[in-house]
Amino acid sequence: MNDNDLDIQRIDPTLYNEDLAPIPHSKRSWGWFEIFNVWSNDIQSLFGYTLAASLFLTYGLNGWAVMAAIILAGVIVMVLVNLTGKPSVKYGIPFPVMIRASMGVRGANLPAMLRAIIGIFWYGVQTYFASTAVALLITAFVGAGDGSTFLGLSGVAWVSFVIVWIFQIAIFWQGIDRIKHFLNWAGPLVYVVMVALMVVVWVQAGDELLPAVATIFSASGEHSGSSIAAFLAIVGTMVAYFAAVVINFGDFTRFVKSERHMKLGNLLGLPLNVAFFSFIALIITAGTLVLFGEALTNPADIVERVDSLPLTIIAALTFFAATVGINLVANFIPPAYDLANLFPSKISFKIGGLITAIVAFFIGALWVSVISQIGVPGFVNALGAVVAPFYGIIVVDYYLVKHKRLDIQQMFSAAPDSAYYYVKGWNQKALMAFGLAALFSISSVWVPALAALTGYAWLIGAGLGGALYYFLMQRQPVTVPTAKS
């Protein structure tokens, strides 16, 4: 029996459906370009651009040092995802199945549901932000309406929000291949438009652009503390930006044809892609300093200042594609699998996606009037820090405890003597490691005395989770499956 083969007669139906089953190598169609576009869509959102541009302005570092920090963060994330992606390349399984090996076949639902809650929340929020691009387009043609609102949204805003919500459902309902095609189209398109915008800004700014770049590179930011602390804070901020995808990267690499394709896609999509995109953000930001007298970090503000119908149309389509792209990558695919893992016999990938979309509709619809006003984003960010220990647990379990060998058949078994059943389906030592490490993660967000560690909370939480798990598991004998398992 191959690593990816299952004996269907021996599986537990409460742990299995076709969407969670291992994907044989013969049925995989993703190469390096698809992985590259996972990262392209993750980076090239409105928030991603604003983050990259603002880093040059707020940390008081020479711009070249900022570029170096951003590239280093890309390298770190590349190493992290190569580690979490490799098991799913080998076995063809998604994140919630992969983590059964460490948390237990029932315990895997804890990290899966925490990740699902985060994904569903931000799916709703990003759906709203994508709708603002559509609203920009509609307003350019028919105007903004009479100014009346409901729940903080105008009539145009409501129409735009429903359009985006239905559009995303239409994509995922056609399956993972349709999502792949959209990402492969959206990633390059956004790059073409961003490069074109950079060239236009460069031409219009003329000889004044390079002095403006020098101004941004003059280390005039407001960040207090040493240069080393600022450098590390930038690295931590960028790593945290990608953290949502780092943990469940196996949801994507299970479709990849080989580990080589994964690593090449990660190399091109992370350090090189991040560096190039940040350079574009730098040039455009410097250009806005010349053209408008201030450095603008929000692309929507730039479009509004230019007041050009052709640019508005192109920008709206680009912002829409970029935001929907990151929404599908970071906020839709993970909860769809996570919900399917909760009740596999009743919830498929499509049904999990539909549940995600329905709940997210209310989150997005209430974003302006309610949710953004009551501190919920802070709670969800804290939840994001809490899941960091699961990264360390996954990696340590696979590479140091299980020695890169898993028994896929037993990942779908709830028999008391199966390898990943532990105690009633839960690995109590993994749960203990998670709980102790999560205490630090949540403290770094909520305790003022630890505020200086906030930027590094994800990395430290992941390291603590892995170290505690390794220490606790040394006291437990581990069954290593044979090569034929």
Measured distance CA(485)–CA(471) in Å, rounded: 27
The tokens for 297 are: 């970090």
Q: Does residue 480 lie in a domain region?
A: no
What total number of domains does the chain contain? Answer: 1
Scanning 11-154, the segments in alpha helix (DSSP H) are: 32-43, 46-58, 63-91, 95-98, 100-103, 109-142
Q: Does residue 265 lie in a domain region?
A: yes
Instruction: Give tens-digit pLDDT for 71-91.
Output: 999 999 999 999 999 999 999
pLDDT of residue 95: 95
The amino acid at residue 107 is G
The amino acid at residue 465 is G
Residue 178's H or E segment, with its range, is helix 176-205
pLDDT at residue 438 tops 60: yes
Would you place residue 1 in the very low, low, confident or very high pLDDT band (cuts 50, 70, 90)? very low
Asked if residues 362 and 81 have their Cβ atoms less than 8 Å apart, the reply is: no
Q: Does residue 408 lie in a domain region?
A: yes
Measured distance CA(72)–CA(61) in Å, rounded: 15
Residue 1: strand, helix, or coil: coil
Measured distance CA(470)–CA(472) in Å, rounded: 6
Asked if residues 161 and 153 have their Cβ atoms less than 8 Å apart, the reply is: yes
Q: Does residue 479 lie in a domain region?
A: no
Q: Which domain holds residue 343?
A: 8-473
Q: Residue with structure tokens 């990816």?
A: 4
Q: Does residue 338 lie in a domain region?
A: yes
Nearest to 254 by CA among 349, 186, 325, 120: 349
Q: Does residue 298 lie in a domain region?
A: yes
Would you place residue 483 in the very low, low, confident or very high pLDDT band (cuts 50, 70, 90)? very low
Q: Which has the higher per-residue pLDDT, 366 or 316?
A: 366
- Mean pLDDT computed over 147-160: 85
Asked if residues 32 and 255 have their Cβ atoms less than 8 Å apart, the reply is: no
Residue 256: strand, helix, or coil: strand
Instruction: Give tens-digit pLDDT for 333-383.
Output: 999 999 999 999 899 999 999 999 999 999 999 887 887 777 655 565 666
Q: Which has the higher per-residue pLDDT, 422 or 65?
A: 422
Residue 313: strand, helix, or coil: helix
How long a stretch of residues is the chain? 485
**Residue-wise DSSP of 332-363:** IHHHHHHHHHHSTTT--HHHHHHHHHHHHHHH
32-43 vs 46-58: helix crossing angle, rounded to 10: 60
Instruction: Give tens-digit pLDDT for 198-207.
Output: 888 888 888 8
pLDDT of residue 328: 86
Measured distance CA(226)–CA(230) in Å, rounded: 6
Instruction: Give tens-digit pLDDT for 395-421.
Output: 999 999 999 999 999 999 999 999 999
Q: Does residue 478 lie in a domain region?
A: no
pLDDT at residue 247 tops 70: yes
pLDDT of residue 208: 82
Please tell me which of 171-180, 307-316, 338-347 the model is most confident about, judged by mean pLDDT.
Answer: 338-347
Measured distance CA(161)–CA(213) in Å, rounded: 37
CATH of the domain at 255: 1.10.4160.10
272-to-37, 66, 76, 267, 359 alpha-carbon distances in Å: 13, 15, 12, 7, 36
pLDDT at residue 215 tops 80: no
The amino acid at residue 2 is N
Would you place residue 64 in the very low, low, confident or very high pLDDT band (cuts 50, 70, 90)? confident
Residue 191: strand, helix, or coil: helix
Within 10 angstroms of residue 309's Cβ, the number of other Cβ atoms is: 9
Measured distance CA(52)–CA(298) in Å, rounded: 10
pLDDT at residue 106 tops 50: yes
Within 10 angstroms of residue 215's Cβ, the number of other Cβ atoms is: 14
Measured distance CA(475)–CA(471) in Å, rounded: 8
Measured distance CA(176)–CA(198) in Å, rounded: 33
Q: Does residue 184 lie in a domain region?
A: yes
